[in-house]
Amino acid sequence: IADVADSAADATVPMKALRGRASFLGDRSIGHMDAGARSTALLVRAVTETIEGQA
């Protein structure tokens, strides 16, 4: 699951930001990972590692 979240965050790099603070950058946002996607991927990884450690 964590690897899927990382892949999804990586997939935001070629996208143009349409919402949030990065939307003010317009086309300049292309080529940069979405911060929300990255932070969510980190949270997902932390949760999955914690759950796996308890098994």
Q: How far is CA 52 from CA 1, 2, 44, 47, 55, in A?
A: 11, 11, 12, 9, 5
Tell me the backbone φ, ψ of residue 33, rounded to 5 degrees. Answer: -70, 140
pLDDT at 39: 97
* Residue 37: other Cβ atoms inside 10 A: 18
pLDDT at 55: 66
pTM of the model: 0.86
Q: What is the pLDDT of residues 1-55, one digit of tens each?
A: 999 999 999 999 999 999 999 999 999 999 999 999 999 999 999 999 999 998 6
pLDDT at 54: 86
Helix (H) or strand (E) holding 42: helix 35-54
